A and B are shown apart, each in its own frame.
Chain A
Amino acid sequence: MPGMTSDSGDQNNSLIPHSPNAQPITYPLHHGLKPPISRLSLSWARGNTLRVTVLRLPQPSSGGDEEAGGRVVEVKLSNNGDGELDDAQWRRIAYGSVTPFALLQSRKNSVSTLSKISSLDNREWWQYIMEYNKEINSLLGGPKLSPGFAIEDPKTVLKAVKKPTCLKAAWELMEIFYADQQSQSWIPERLLDWLADYNCLLSGTQPTVHSKLVDFQKELVAQQSVEDHPKYWEAISSAVAIGWLDIGVKLLRLHGSYDFDQLGSRETENGLVEAVAVLISKMPRLRPELEPDKLGECYKTKPDFMKAWEKWRAQITKLDCSGFWLQCEHHRTRDGLKSILQIMLGNSTGLSNATLQWMELYIAHFLYIRPFTSGLESMYNLAQKCMQIKPVSDHHKLTGLLIGILGENPEAVLVECSRSFGSWMMVHAGELLTAGNIQAELLLHEQRKLLGGICIEELNRLIYAQVLCSHALTWQIAPIYLSSCIKQGMGLLETVLCKQALQHNQILLKSLEICRLYELDSISSNIMKITGVHDWKHGKKGSGVFWLQQAQDEVRLNRIAKQLFDFVGKSVSDESFKQWEGLIELLGSESGSAGGLEFLNKYRDFRRSLHQVYSGMDTDAAKKAAEALISLMKNPSTPQRFWLPILFDSLKLFNWSERPLLNVSQTNLLLNKLQELSMAKLQPDFVDADLAPEALNSVRIAIATNLGRAILEE
């Protein structure tokens, strides 16, 4: 939120809900105050965090009633899916996706500038997409562990694995259909693998083959002759039906006829069980390879597979018609094995009985009836058929996503991503969706007037960036996504930067670094300005001046210079002047800096040299001090109000006994300044120096004396 949300998307799968009756969702807002409530007020905080102030109606004081007068409640509106992952996990995913996303964007940019060739033919392009896909996929959870044998215990059919997340399952569906070009020719087998990994996620409200096997496994431990129990045969049928061949074979080999004490008496029965087990494990598979512990024989090409498939089915038929069945005295075994053979022969009733959900039936159809199904349209039709046989009682996000994909409806895919997995998925899966799907690309890249001229892809990124900004630890990665938003990204970034907690040094410097990277100079100077004013007014004058200098804020620096001169002007004694040393050092001596602040630096140097004169009677030191005096008086940035105090401090220089320190022209300059000063006295804005009234007179006399001596000398 805000987002592409659709509450009525179930039926019409539309991005744009248009049912006028769609009711907004109501949330409670717990404030814990006793009624009556008088008023609410609102404020947006970082990202899309909303703060609501709830105020209680002022009550006449009733003694002990110290009830709070109001409370501020913070509501985070960030849509992070449906709570499958906690905040720390989401942050880890957010951090990890930054580099793959940024790398893909830069590659996209270089592809689009270097070649205009359709990206579909571009092998390199698909390599980039797969690299991106792999990186993101690895963030969503460790390597997948399929149900399979546990070697240690023969009675453990399913390995106990950490429950995978729907997020990863959804990502892998997108990978199968949109990213992995290699697997396009064997999508049914990939879906089979997918279901093997994530079947357990579908058991929310309805049983699945996985949940059935889990239940059966619990009973298995206590059972002696498993073949006497109908559930044993059902479990094998179900496992075989959805292609979990290894589990089927493992279960078959738990058959009582394998026991040493039974071998003699149940030879034929055992032979039939083993024959079915061998047929199961030799099933031809239309796929390049299988994981080592999986069963079946792989064929890469359709003709090879076709030959093997026909041969295999012929073997099944032959076994089905064999006379050995008559010799099998264990009826449950005979019936159980026969129904397994029916499943392998593609008997649709058998398949339907062995499976529990439409997805399972769907996979069973691929395996045993229509191994050559290809193309989304026929896959979609088959899915519809399976859903008719096994109707869906409630909406599951993963099947919803699959139907959207098969129905070639990118809108529905996006709605499902948004609703179930949040803005992170919208942005990152959007890259897979648009990688080669022209329909999706049109949908996501079309610029929309109603969105203020941006496309849905940009909207998604803006929304995700806003979610990132809602958290103090993730806001810094928002710029990566905003910089990929051509139209409005920088606008939002500027707003984000101006709302940071700048009074904290680290945040200030990190914000300025972002300004530097994205060349947001005016924001940078605004941030410095805010910091400078804050520090100046909060007792950190040095830091205040520093940041205003960095911001080149002449207006404020000029004001500050006036205030500083006031302070410095007051502290005439050397002791109190000393405390300004550090700040003056910071101001530097470069001329032309705003506010004439470099004057303070020169003034400091002058005072230092004067100090030396007063502590000794060295003419060289006095000569230096006189030079400093002249340069100070020549400097246009020396404030007029300092002229008289400076001249007054220099009385000793004018009356230097050894020889006059200033020549005629220098003395004339000082006299002119005195003249100017008496003219300025008539101005209304004149600031009088804090000196005794006779100071001016004694300065005038001293300079005049110096002039006289200088004339004589020349």
Chain B
Amino acid sequence: MALTIPSPQPTSQSPPFQLRRLPQDHYIDALRWLPQLSALHRHILLATFDSDTSSSSLQILTYTPSTPNSQPPNLPLQSSYPTSSRITSLKTLLTPQSPKPLIAASTISGSLLFLTADSVNGSLDFGFSVTEKGFHRGPISGIDASENGSLSVGEDGRINLVRIGNGEGGSFQRVFDSNGLVSYSAVKWASPFEFVTGGLGYSLHWWDQRRPGGPVSQFKGNWSSGATSGIVHSIDIHPSRKHTCLAGGSSGTVFAWDLRWQQQPIILSRAGTTDAYSPSESEVWEVQYDNYTHSSNTRNFSSSRVLPAMICSEDGILAVIEQNEVPMELLAEPCAVNSFDIDKQNPSDVICSLEWESIAILTRS
């Protein structure tokens, strides 16, 4: 929900970029770039929901970058795989063992699907799924996949790990179960043994599989005095700085939590405060470090400085934010920007899903 009077917050001039909006005739639950093997074949992965038939599916679309003067690209459908329920979170992974990217998708009914995609012809092949009764109760709210396996978390307070490969598909390991006393909304690997979960009250928990039984470190954002608190919706950790965890959530809040300075998070954005610019006043649905944007202040570029990050929000904002800098607004849509993805191989290209059954593709130059 957006369409507010433009916020008085300052935004810096964004560099020129090409933008295309493509209506889809169905709701986009999640989307990702598919890791590519050759520069010739680029694909977009969509999790869609068709409200007329109440059916959901995973779709691969072919993307052909267009020259500035050509017609907007159409995204021909390459393949489609129907899913039994709607997708809540989507991750892709390229492992050294296989040339085919792996897709992990969690559902609203609490199951986890694994598929492989052929990035040459854009076909989708079902791998295996975890649907056991004791896996999750209710929707899975966040997943993260790495070579170490696929982590999933939910409102039910469970953290599960599914190992990928070696043919042992389908079984899972319960890392923790809070029995609903704590609900989790996001998860992200930090290292082969460590990961971070996010949840209610702007909380972040740091876990180490070598020290099981509970989080090794906790953070709760208690800067919000009074009753209004919020939820962490998305977490990112930069491979070069595994000790710093970037989190985005309610009230336009984006903060970085450095394990070494545990109780002092760096607030990058938050509505209603004077010490940080906030491009959004609403839920920040996704955060990702943005490798494309180079820090504007290179002289001051130290290891304590948070790297630039992209966010999307319920009030229609897609922006790049940087510590102590004016945020750079890329999109200000009249409807929510529910998710986005930066192409890892072509970080100039960004796709995002809009509430009004459409996607937008940005090519920065």
Contacts and interface: CB of A to CB of B under 8 A. Distances in A.
Direct contact, A vs B (beta carbon within 8 Å): yes
Interface of A: 87-88, 91-92, 95, 98-99, 102, 106, 471-473, 476-477, 479-480, 504-505, 509-510, 513-514, 516-517, 535, 539-543, 546, 549-550, 552, 578-583, 585-586, 588, 590
Contact of A588 (B157, B222, B334): B222
Contacts of A98: 3, 334-335
Contacts of A580: 181
B201 A588 contact: yes
B268 interface: no
Contacts of B227: 549-550, 552
A307 B227 CA distance: 80
A520 to B, nearest CB: 13
B178 A95 contact: no
B253 to A, nearest CB: 13
Q: What are the 9 A-B residue pairs with the smallest beta carbon separation, nearest first?
A: A582-B182, A95-B356, A583-B181, A539-B180, A546-B200, A540-B180, A543-B183, A88-B25, A542-B182
B214 A473 contact: no
Given A92-B25, A505-B141, 4 more contacts: A472-B51, A477-B335, A552-B227, A579-B181
B178 A543 contact: no
Contacts of B182: 542, 582-583, 586
B335 A586 contact: no
Given A513-B282, A549-B227, A588-B201, A542 B355 contact: no
A460 B155 CA distance: 41
A542 B27 contact: no
A82 to B, nearest CB: 19
A510 B336 contact: yes
Contacts, number: 117
Interface string B189-209: 000000000011101010000
A578 B183 contact: no
Contact of A586 (B220, B355, B356): B220
A509 B232 CA distance: 12
A552 B228 CA distance: 9
Nearest to A99: B334
A550 B218 CA distance: 21
A540 B157 contact: yes
Interface in B230-265: 231, 250
A493 B357 CA distance: 23
| B23, B183, B231 — most chain A CB neighbours (10 Å) | B183
A494 to B, nearest CB: 15
A471 to B, nearest CB: 7
Nearest to A581: B214
A505 B139 contact: yes
B229 A549 contact: yes
- What band does the interface of chain B fall in when counting residues whose beta carbon is under 8 Å from A? 35 or more
Interface in B204-226: 205, 213-215, 218, 220, 222, 225
Contact of A99 (B3, B157, B336): B3
A513 B1 contact: yes
Contacts of A585: 201, 203, 218, 220
B343 interface: no
B51 A542 contact: no
Contacts of A95: 335, 356-357
Contacts of A504: 108, 139
Contacts of A582: 157, 178, 181-182, 205, 215, 218
Nearest to A91: B357
| A91, A102, A582, A583 — most chain B CB neighbours (10 Å) | A582
A580 B214 CA distance: 11
Nearest to B25: A88
A540 B52 contact: no
Interface in B85-115: 108
B179 interface: yes
| A87, A99, A540 — most chain B CB neighbours (10 Å) | A540
Contacts of A91: 357
5 contacts: A473-B51, A476-B355, A509-B314, A510-B336, A541-B181
A550 B250 CA distance: 13
A580 B250 CA distance: 25
A472 B123 CA distance: 31
Nearest to B334: A99
A517 B26 CA distance: 26
A514 B178 contact: no
Nearest to B231: A509
Contacts of B199: 542
Contacts of B141: 505
A542 B52 contact: no
Contacts of B25: 88, 92
A471 B50 CA distance: 12
B4 interface: yes
B220 to A, nearest CB: 6
B156 interface: yes
Nearest to B49: A473
Interface string B347-365: 0000000011100000000
Contacts of A542: 157, 178, 180-183, 199-200
A514 B157 CA distance: 28
